[in-house]
Amino acid sequence: MTPPRHSEELADAQATARPLTVLEPALWQRLNEASTASELATVWLALQCSMIPGATAGIVREATSNGFRLLAAWPDGHGEPVDLTATAELAVSEARAVARGANGAADTAPSVAYPVVIDGKTVAAIAVSMAISQPAHAKDELRGAIRQLQWGSAWLRDHMRRLRTEASSGKRDQSAATLDFIATVLEHESFKPAAMAAATELAIRFDCARVSIGFRRRGTTRLAAISHTAQFGRQMSLVRAVGSAMDEAIDQRASILYPIGADEAVAATAHRDLARMQHDGQIFTVPLFVVDTFVGAITFERGKDHAFDPETVRLLDVIATAIGPILEEKRRNDRWLVVKAAEAFGLQLKCLLGPGYVGRKLAVAGIVAACAFFAFATDTYRVNADAQIEGLERRAVVSAYDGYIQQANVRAGEMVKAGDTLATLEDRELSLERLRWATERQQRVFEHDRALASRQPATINVVKSQIDQADAQLRLIDEQIARTKLIAPFDGMVVSGDLSQRVGGSVSRGETLFEIAPLTDYRVVMQVDERQIASIEVGQTGEVVFTSLPEQGFGVTVTKVTPVSQSHEGKNLFQVEGALTRNSESLRPGMIGIAKINIGTEPLIAIWTRPMLDWLRLATWRWMP
């Protein structure tokens, strides 16, 4: 009896040798000749399933950008069983070979799956369902099937790697060719040389008899360049035929390859006429699409026996798509400035009057409404100025002689009545001086009486004069003593003067100690900028609002324009005086605010732009020669 280990090795050897007896030469030939991934996967899967004992169905799923899709199924028309799909997805998620149903579960058919990995990425998954002949050897049979898939997946992996390499190489070649043509176009600053260079390079690189480049103008395509031709007349029959072929492709918004296929639903009348002129040659026209408009086309011409292959057609389409916007940009930049402006205006007008562009329409409507408003809207032009209220009369209280302050009764801001004592100066020296003169007078009176008694006329006259002199001095001193009390001349408010901190201090004769303003009459002093003083005239009216009374305004009438300017904070200001049209108990001298003087009615836009226009006139005058 054969030992168990030897029997297992024999079974493995038989499982490996069995496919050699069932290989079908036709499948191997198809496998060698397969050109697409789907064809190779179909043949390969059939061979693999024939090599796996008990294989009942199989699928190959390919990775795409949106997941995995069915690439091949065996037997043909078998579809994609749900169980096999689940097994394949399990192998992809775990990134390793998997087996299901090895325990003989009734709800799961035995199946195996193996992921195909290239450069660390799963590119495909193979799943095969099996019918187990001996349940006791189910695991061995599934293990053998997985081994077979591992060995056989090299065919599939190598083919997919080759396809990827070819696709990547083709894309690199395509990108390199496209970049070369872009560089050729960008080497020239002007449109004409760039178009000529592009047409000639395309003709040489792709072995074309002629390459023509044209752009749309007023609904028709006009040729801008023909390869190997520096000048060409617009009335040439060939030029007209090429332009018609370009119009045909642009109007249908599709590339046209003539002769066209039997199943292509495109009109190619102009291409047919052009081909006849070239002895039934091959014509390929690619429209140039920029942003959202077809701006032109490129027409490639070859001889009768030199057809365009699909790869060349794709490459020409890519190159035309790449260089089209560059040529269009150069063409637009080479135009006259007047043409550019006219086209830009027409485009904006088309957008404005055509459908869509709601925001632009609303903006233009707003501008038109604003222009209409400013064309008819008027307002009162007013000159603004800083204003301060002052009493109409302002009386100064001064010191009558040199002295010292004895008492201060009021300070600035207090209300006083006529006759109130504002302050008192010391009168001690005056009192002593009065006492001296009083004593002197009394002595002279005694002398006068003695002279009368002794009847001395000469002495009487002298003493009488001395008595009169003493009386005069006493009257003078009494007057000075009376003036030691500073008295308010009328009812009003002390607007300046505070002697409370100077008690005992000296004052000089004529020094202003207090200023008093009445509360019945006021004037408004306004500081007007020199740029606006020319608009101010006596008699103009306005309004003034004070900082302390912002809720009410007071009418003011200009009474005087002072022709002397004062410099303040870098500005020249003229003082304008005005009279209030009404008084208020809330007003106090010294209040500041803003005054607005009415000049006249003017257009609103003129009022708003006056400062800017004045500055512009002055700047223009300054820089004029």
Burial 455-491 (b: 16+ CB within 10 A, else e): eeeeebeebeebbeebeebbeebeebeebbebebbee
Structure confidence at residue 106 (pLDDT): 52
pTM of the entire predicted model: 0.45
Map out the domains of the chain as residue ranges.
14-165, 187-334, 395-514, 521-623
Integer-rounded Cα radius of gyration of the chain = 58
Structure confidence at residue 5 (pLDDT): 37
Burial 171-204 (b: 16+ CB within 10 A, else e): eeeeeebbeebeebbeeeeebeebbbbbbbbbbe
Structure confidence at residue 12 (pLDDT): 41
Structure confidence at residue 168 (pLDDT): 59
Q: Which CATH architecture has domain 521-623?
A: Beta Barrel (2.40)
Positions of the chain with pLDDT under 70: 1-35, 77-78, 102-108, 164-174, 230-235, 262
Pick the CATH number of 14-165 from 3.30.1360.200, 3.40.50.920, 3.30.1360.20, 3.30.450.40: 3.30.450.40
Rounded-to-integer distance, Cα 483 and Cα 479, Å: 6
Torsion of CA 482, 486, 491, 492, to 10 degrees: 170
Structure confidence at residue 24 (pLDDT): 60
Structure confidence at residue 250 (pLDDT): 92
CB neighbour list of residue 372: distance below 8 Å, 6 or more residues apart:
none
Structure confidence at residue 23 (pLDDT): 46
Residue 25, strand partner residues = none
Does the domain made of 187-334 have the CATH classification 3.30.450.40?
Answer: yes
Q: Which two tokens stand for residue 46?
A: 């059939």
- Sign of torsion, CA 248 250 251 255? positive
CB 73 within 8 A of CB 58: yes
CB 400 within 8 A of CB 379: no
14-165 and 521-623 share one CATH topology? no
Structure confidence at residue 35 (pLDDT): 66
| DSSP-derived 3-state class of residue 550 | strand
Residue 598, classified by CB atoms within 10 Å of its CB into exposed (0-12), middle (13-18) or buried (19+), is middle
Structure confidence at residue 137 (pLDDT): 73
Cis peptide before 135 (omega within 30 of 0): no
Beta-carbon count within 10 A of 430 CB: 21
- Sign of torsion, CA 168 173 174 180? positive
Rounded-to-integer distance, Cα 12 and Cα 10, Å: 5
Q: Which two tokens stand for residue 488?
A: 């308010």
Structure confidence at residue 31 (pLDDT): 67
Count CA within 13 A, CB hemisphere, residue 503. 11
